[in-house]
């Protein structure tokens, strides 16, 4: 009995100690990169996404990423947390498993018998012997008794292999299938080659050229061509690779420097100069410094260990895409291989982002914290228009035929409107590109506007004309027209043109069904489609249902509220999203897609935070005088839907979008409507946050009594003065600001309830 009581006492004390540790608040962050967990979100597969990401060992926005490869060649799920073997270390440009990869090749150390097949060379590994950070990766490969380490630069990387004593230690370079070439130069300890493997969106002449330099003479060499091992120093076929061998002593380290280029082998050697003579440890420290500098632009304090790790892990994911797709030539000039026409041209190019996802918060985040970089991205978009005749809506690396909308309009307009004239790029060309895309169907369904002629004629894309996801397209086109309207005003375009896009931005009203108070597909004859099931995913909508897409009127929430019968009815509809059961109709897909399953298991009713269409909806209570409900649900979503472990996301992370949602929400505000000057206030997560803006000013957000219980705002002061609005101005933040939040466990139902405190709506603006 005494032993039992002692055991219970120790168990209780242990639990209390563990709880105390998890609740302990961290008041200062000196090295934010130490809080990043690149494995957050890696416990995913095609049937259920907890992020669908891989550990990207990379520099911020780097042209090349590296990742350990557990999946087979060509598998979009390149790294899965529950895998037990590593097949190689892959240079990757993959934005998501659904888009898959391009320009990929791998390197893998082996001991003993010479093998090159991906299964034969694979080795068991354990997360217990794995070190993962944004700037450094290390793992012990048990079958070969080799430790592999890597550190990246933007276009190059250094590897360090620690071998056992062996007469036959080797390194396999796999250029993958789809057409590849490789050549061994034993005299200079160099391997060169190219890979063409891709998943689409590339010109016919696409190649990723690579160069690898070793620091030890080769004792034997092989190449392989498809399934055959050969002695030749050169191989070119569908699938080729090289094997170089060494005799090693125990603990001997062999170093490799790797760089690649989309332009040429010669340019790959130029890119290798990013490493130069810098050794492994020097590059490791430089990478650590770079990540600390970028992550340190936002300093948060007064959060738990889990909250800190989640925040900086999300911030890391927000600094990866869109990636740089440009290089510096021998003269130091910015050049790029065009993924649109296959030519080598001057100027910037970025890729690997889908605007359907990232217009919502990732690009607004860049506008807030990295406007200079985003100006380069805008120049890259102008180049994309020159080279393809269209703005990309999903680029990887060129035009891809996926998702809906014409949200390049939002990305272009928001960048210019936030910093009118501060950055030098061709906004007139981009405006021309927006007008072209807004009025024409493109070469792919996801480029320009599918159903453009119907939309111009009827004001909506009909349900019954063979264009899928028509209601989603209509709603997004209307919002995109609003951003063109805003940009046209800023550029002083003719009044008739401005009014034309203002009127088109009201097209959302054509799909509102007053009977159900929801958005509904409409036939060409003007009648609503029938039968109508608001829980039906897909069909008229994109990866969601009517309960998700009804709120996609980012620019005119007041107008939507009026359609629903006023503020009381509007709030009642918002409340239903959370109170309805997570039922669904999957008949359009013929089975449960992962987005449906993620909504179902989240236990938040019809709220499907794992996908983008509804992620802003929580903030809409601010437009209807009940901001405390926004405050409640924002904290609830952060607490329940994000955590720093391998299952840390509640759906696809999607190139920074779902992460940027968390970053904004943790700071206490969110860009509901890019294309306006406003951020809608939620509630801060931390006791303090300091934003170091690119112009040298700082935004300090204080909430000293913030806690797990105190999730509600009692009062706000801005620069020492009472502040009652439910929104913050971008221009005010750019001047530097101190925002003081008084938090409480009980909601303040008298603050932010007057219409004059509500965020922007087009209908209110017109009044």
- The pLDDT of residue 767 is 55
Residue 17: pLDDT band with limits 50, 70, 90: very low
Give the tens place of pLDDT for each residue, 218-264: 999 999 999 999 999 999 999 999 999 999 999 999 999 999 999 99
Overall average pLDDT of the 482-506 stretch: 98
Write down the pLDDT at residue 765. Answer: 86
Question: What is the DSSP secondary-structure string of 609-646?
Answer: TTSGGGTTGGGGGGGTT-HHHHHHHHHHHHHHH--SST
Token pair 């170091």 is found at 692
pLDDT (average), residues 748-766 = 95
> ∠ CA(158), CA(161), CA(165), 5° rounding?
160
Mean per-residue pLDDT over the chain, rounded: 96
pLDDT tens profile 595-615: 999 999 999 999 999 999 999
Diameter over CA atoms, the chain = 88
As a whole number, mean pLDDT of residues 121-148 equals 98
Q: Are 751 and 724 in contact (CB under 8 A)?
A: yes
CA separation, residue 177 to residues 101, 116, 225, 261, 430 (Å):
13, 13, 10, 18, 38
Q: Is the pLDDT of residue 441 over 80?
A: yes
Percent of the chain with pLDDT over 90: 96
Instruction: Check: CB of residue 123 under 8 Å from CB of residue 144.
Output: yes
Q: How many CB atoms lie within 10 A of CB 481?
A: 25
Q: What is the pLDDT of residues 380-434, one digit of tens each?
A: 999 999 999 999 999 999 999 999 999 999 999 999 999 988 999 999 999 999 9
Tokens of 602: 């989240």
The DSSP code for 145 is T
CA angle 597, 599, 601 (to 5 degrees): 70
Mean pLDDT on 55-84: 98
Taking the C-alpha atoms of residue 122 and residue 118, their distance in angstroms, rounded to an integer, is 6
pLDDT at 21 over 80: no
Confidence of residue 15 (pLDDT cuts 50, 70, 90): very low
Q: With H, G, I as helix, E, B as strand and everything else as coil, classify residue 202.
A: coil
Give the other-Cβ count within 10 Å of 377's Cβ.
Answer: 23
Select from 553, 383, 558 the least CA-distant residue to 481. 553
Q: Look-up: residue for tokens 């590296």?
A: 66
Beta carbons of 49 and 610 less than 8 angstroms apart? yes
For the stretch 256-295, pLDDT in tens is: 999 999 999 999 999 999 999 999 999 999 999 999 999 9
**How far is it, in rounded angstroms, from Cα 218 to Cα 244?**
6
C-alpha to C-alpha distance for 487 and 438, rounded to whole angstroms: 13
pLDDT at residue 749, as a whole number: 98
Note whether 663 and 704 are within 8 A (CB). Answer: no
Per-residue pLDDT tens digits for 304-325: 999 999 999 999 999 999 999 9
Taking Cα atoms as reference points, which of 719, 724, 728, 723 lies closest to residue 678? 728
Report the alpha-carbon distance of residue 465 to residue 116 in Å, rounded. 52
> Any residues with CB less than 8 A from the CB of 756 and at least 6 apart, and which?
none
Residues 509-552: tens digit of each pLDDT = 999 999 999 999 999 999 999 999 999 999 999 999 999 999 99
Q: Which residues contact 465 (CB under 8 A, 6 or more apart)?
A: 451, 454, 524
Beta carbons of 150 and 257 less than 8 angstroms apart: no
Percent of all residues in the chain with a pLDDT value above 70, rounded to a whole number: 97
Q: Determine the Cα–Cα distance for residues 738 and 688; give it in Å rounded to an integer.
A: 11
pLDDT for 642-683, tens place per residue? 999 999 999 999 999 999 999 999 999 999 999 999 999 999
pLDDT at 766 over 90: no
- Give the CA angle between residues 301, 307, 309 to the nearest 5°: 95
* pLDDT at residue 11, rounded to an integer: 47
Question: Mean per-residue pLDDT for 33-38?
Answer: 98
DSSP string, 358-385: HTTTHHHHHHHH-HHHHHHHHHHHHHHH
Which residue in the block uniquely carries the two structure tokens 């120049």? 379
The sign of the dihedral angle between the CA atoms of 519, 523, 527, 532 is negative
């Amino acid at each position: 009995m005494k032993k039992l009581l002692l055991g219970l006492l120790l168990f209780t004390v242990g639990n209390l100690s563990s709880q105390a540790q998890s609740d302990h608040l961290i008041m200062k962050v000196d090295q934010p990169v130490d809080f990043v967990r690149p494995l957050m979100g890696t416990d995913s597969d095609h049937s259920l996404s907890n992020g669908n990401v891989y550990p990207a060992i990379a520099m911020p926005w780097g042209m090349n990423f590296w990742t350990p490869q557990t999946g087979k060649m060509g598998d979009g799920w390149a790294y899965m947390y529950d895998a037990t073997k590593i097949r190689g270390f892959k240079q990757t440009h993959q934005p998501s498993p659904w888009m898959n990869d391009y320009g990929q090749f791998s390197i893998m150390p082996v001991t003993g018998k010479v093998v090159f097949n991906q299964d034969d060379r694979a080795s068991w590994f354990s997360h217990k012997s794995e070190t993962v950070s944004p700037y450094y990766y290390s793992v012990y490969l048990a079958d070969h008794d080799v430790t592999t380490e890597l550190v990246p630069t933007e276009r190059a990387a250094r590897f360090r292999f620690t071998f056992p004593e062996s007469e036959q230690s080797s390194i396999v370079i796999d250029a993958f299938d789809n057409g590849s070439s490789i050549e061994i130069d034993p005299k200079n300890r160099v391997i060169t080659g190219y890979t063409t493997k891709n998943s689409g969106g590339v010109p016919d002449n696409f190649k990723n050229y690579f160069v690898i330099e070793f620091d030890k003479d080769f004792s034997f060499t092989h190449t392989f061509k498809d399934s055959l091992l050969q002695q030749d120093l050169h191989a070119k076929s569908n699938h080729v690779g090289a094997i170089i061998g060494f005799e090693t002593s125990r603990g001997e380290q062999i170093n490799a420097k790797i760089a690649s280029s989309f332009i040429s082998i010669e340019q790959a050697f130029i890119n290798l100069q990013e490493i130069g003579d810098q050794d492994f440890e020097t590059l490791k420290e430089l990478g650590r410094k770079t990540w600390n500098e970028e992550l340190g632009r936002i300093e948060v304090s007064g959060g738990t260990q889990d909250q800190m790790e989640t925040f900086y892990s999300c911030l890391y994911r927000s600094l990866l895409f869109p990636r740089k797709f440009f290089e510096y030539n021998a003269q130091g000039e910015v050049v790029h291989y065009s993924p649109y026409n296959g030519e080598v041209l001057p100027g910037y190019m970025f890729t690997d982002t889908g605007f359907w996802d990232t217009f919502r918060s990732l690009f607004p985040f860049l506008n807030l914290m990295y406007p200079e970089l985003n100006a380069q991205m805008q120049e890259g978009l102008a180049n994309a228009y020159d080279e393809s005749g269209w703005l990309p809506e999903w680029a990887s690396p060129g035009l891809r035929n996926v998702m809906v909308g014409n949200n390049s309009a939002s990305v272009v307009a928001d960048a210019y409107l936030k910093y009118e004239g501060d950055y030098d790029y061709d906004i007139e060309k981009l405006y021309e590109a927006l007008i072209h895309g807004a009025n024409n169907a493109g070469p792919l369904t996801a480029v320009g506007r599918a159903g453009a002629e119907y939309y111009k004629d009827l004001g909506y894309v009909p349900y019954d004309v063979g264009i899928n996801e028509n209601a989603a397209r209509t709603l997004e086109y209307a919002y995109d027209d609003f951003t063109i309207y805003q940009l046209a005003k800023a550029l002083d375009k003719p009044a008739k043109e401005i009014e034309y896009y203002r009127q088109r931005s009201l097209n959302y009203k054509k799909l509102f069904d007053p009977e159900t108070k929801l958005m509904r597909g409409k036939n060409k004859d003007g009648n609503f489609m029938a039968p109508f099931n608001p829980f039906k995913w897909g069909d008229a909508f994109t990866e969601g249902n009517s309960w998700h897409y009804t709120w996609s009127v980012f620019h005119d929430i007041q107008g939507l509220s009026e359609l629903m019968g006023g503020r009381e009815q509007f709030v009642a509809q918002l409340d239903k999203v959370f109170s309805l059961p997570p039922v669904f109709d999957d008949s359009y897909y013929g089975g449960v897609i992962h987005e449906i399953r993620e909504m179902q298991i989240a236990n938040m009713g019809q709220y499907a935070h794992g996908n983008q269409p509804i992620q802003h909806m929580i903030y809409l209570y601010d437009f209807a005088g009940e901001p405390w409900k926004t405050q409640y649900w924002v904290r609830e979503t952060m607490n329940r839907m994000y955590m720093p472990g391998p299952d840390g996301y509640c759906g696809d992370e999607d190139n920074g979008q779902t992460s940027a949602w968390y970053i904004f929400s943790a700071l206490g505000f969110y860009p509901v409507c890019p294309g306006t000057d406003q951020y809608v206030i939620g509630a801060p997560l931390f006791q303090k946050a300091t934003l170091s803006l690119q112009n040298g000013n700082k935004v300090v957000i204080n909430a000293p009594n913030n806690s797990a219980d105190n999730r509600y705002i009692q009062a706000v002061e801005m620069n020492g003065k009472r502040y009652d609005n439910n929104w913050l101005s971008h221009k005010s933040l750019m001047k530097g600001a101190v925002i003081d939040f008084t938090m409480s466990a009980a909601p303040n139902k008298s603050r932010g309830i007057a219409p004059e405190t509500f965020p922007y709506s087009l209908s209110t603006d017109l009044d």
